[in-house]
A and B are shown apart, each in its own frame.
Chain A
Amino acid sequence: SQTIHQWPATLVQPVGSPLSLECTVEGTSNPNLYWYRQAAGRGLQLLFYSVGIGQISSEVPQNLSASRPQDRQFILSSKKLLLSDSGFYLCAWSVQGRAFFGQGTRLTVV
Chain B
Amino acid sequence: GIQVEQSPPDLILQEGANSTLRCNFSDSVNNLQWFHQNPWGQLINLFYIPSGTKQNGRLSATTVATERYSLLYISSSQTTDSGVYFCAVETGTASKLTFGTGTRLQVTL
* Chain A residues within 8 Å of B, Cβ to Cβ: 32, 34, 36, 38, 43-44, 46, 49, 51, 57, 59, 88, 90, 92, 94, 97-101, 103-104, 106
Contacts and interface: CB of A to CB of B under 8 A. Distances in A.
The majority secondary structure among interface residues of chain B is strand
Contact of B33 (A32, A59, A88, A98): A98
Given A98-B48, A101-B42, 7 more contacts: A34-B97, A46-B96, A59-B96, A94-B97, A97-B30, A97-B90, A99-B33
B102 interface: yes
A46 B41 contact: no
A97 B95 contact: yes
A49 B95 contact: yes
B99 interface: yes
Nearest to B43: A101
Contacts of B105: none
Interface string B87-109: 01010001111111110000000
B101 A43 contact: yes
Give the interface residue-count category, chain B. Answer: 20 to 34
Contact of A32 (B42, B45, B95, B98): B95
B31 interface: yes
B41 A43 contact: no
B39 to A, nearest CB: 12
B86 interface: yes
Interface string B34-74: 01000001110100101000000000000000000000000
